[in-house]
Amino acid sequence: MKIMQILIVFVIISSSGCKGPTGLDGAIGSQLKGDIFGYVDIYDVNGKPVIDRHGVYIQTEENLIGSLSDTSGRWTLKDLYAGIYTISANKTGYTKASVSNFQFVGGGNAYFNSPLAIIELPSFSIKSISLTGNSTDSLGQQLAIDVNPPASNGDTRSFFIVYGKVPTVAINTPDALITSQATYTYKTVGSASISLKNVITNLKNNFGMQSGDRAYAVVYPSSAHISNVGTYTDPITRKVIFTRFSAPFVAVNFQIP
């Protein structure tokens, strides 16, 4: 009986006597608060860094706490509880950037060291697309792409071109067998010319298309290619999703030689 009484007294003392910053009277776990700060990069449509990086809205997707970046691209999210956050960057006319699973322990300032960058969306449109050349030419058949407004000598334009077996093929869909990015620098005023030779070989070797089959191509105006900018990986399918494009031109078709 005496042993039992001693044990009971010990439990009561342990439960009521633990105080301090991490005890019953202190902040515990998610009650800790602090700030997250970091930097965002901005690129123009041709992939050149933008010096003035102010005005990008940074926020947490979970509780929508946000702030604007300054001219150096620095931003600070204040008074956040400890937790796991998805940080996103938004600016009108640019792609959205998002980084998930940032673990914030609270209790002070934390530096967000993951890359966070946005790129300007294209403002030109596709005016027309035509099929030129022959399969016997050195470049094979080609897509001739006219843009609006017309490009001048020395200008660069980027395109996403999606190839598939059906006229409804579109970017970021299962029908998109091949998604390629082509960058064309104009040496003269006129059409951008994109060879189909390697694409046709790919469609034959990897997707079972045969001579006489019809393939379809959809062309999207695109921002320049900057690694990991304007793209993200779908958490379910694990496929890369492209976002740095604007409205496409209707699908054109060509015959597999």
| Site of tokens 């998805």 | 86
* Whether the predicted pLDDT of 30 surpasses 90: no
b or e along 174-183 (b: 16 or more beta carbons within 10 Å of the residue's beta carbon)?
A: ebbbbbebbe
Per-residue pLDDT tens over the stretch 114-162? 999 999 999 999 999 999 988 777 778 999 999 999 999 999 999 999 9
CATH class of domain segment(s) 27-119: mainly beta
The pair of three-digit structure tokens given for residue 151, joined into one six-digit string? 């490009």
Strand segments (E) across 61-186: 66-68, 74-81, 83-90, 97-104, 109-111, 117-119, 125-132, 142-148, 156-164, 178-185
pLDDT tens for each residue of 54-76: 999 999 999 998 999 999 999 99
- pLDDT reading at 23 higher than 70: no
Does the pLDDT at position 15 exceed 80? no
- pLDDT-derived band at 232, boundaries 50, 70, 90: confident
Give the Cα separation of 173 and 241 in Å (integer): 9
Structure confidence by residue, pLDDT tens digits, 176-206: 999 999 999 999 888 999 999 999 999 999 9
Strands 117-119 and 83-90, bridge-based pairing: unpaired
Give every strand in the sheet of 178-185, ordered side by side.
178-185, 156-164, 214-222, 252-255
49-68 burial, b at 16+ Cβ within 10 Å, e below that, comes to: eeeebbebebbbeeeebebe
Query: Hey, which CATH number is domain 125-255, 2.60.40, 3.30.70, 1.10.3470, 1.10.443?
Result: 2.60.40
Percent of the chain with pLDDT strictly greater than 70: 88
Q: Are the C-beta atoms of 47 and 226 separated by less than 8 Å?
A: yes
Give tens-digit pLDDT for 35-44: 999 999 999 9
Q: Which residues 6+ apart lie within 8 Å of 61 measured at CB?
A: 85, 86, 87, 88, 98
Q: Where in the chain is the domain with CATH 2.60.40.4130?
A: 27-119
Average pLDDT, the chain: 86
Q: Is 69 helix (H, G, I), strand (E, B) or coil?
A: coil
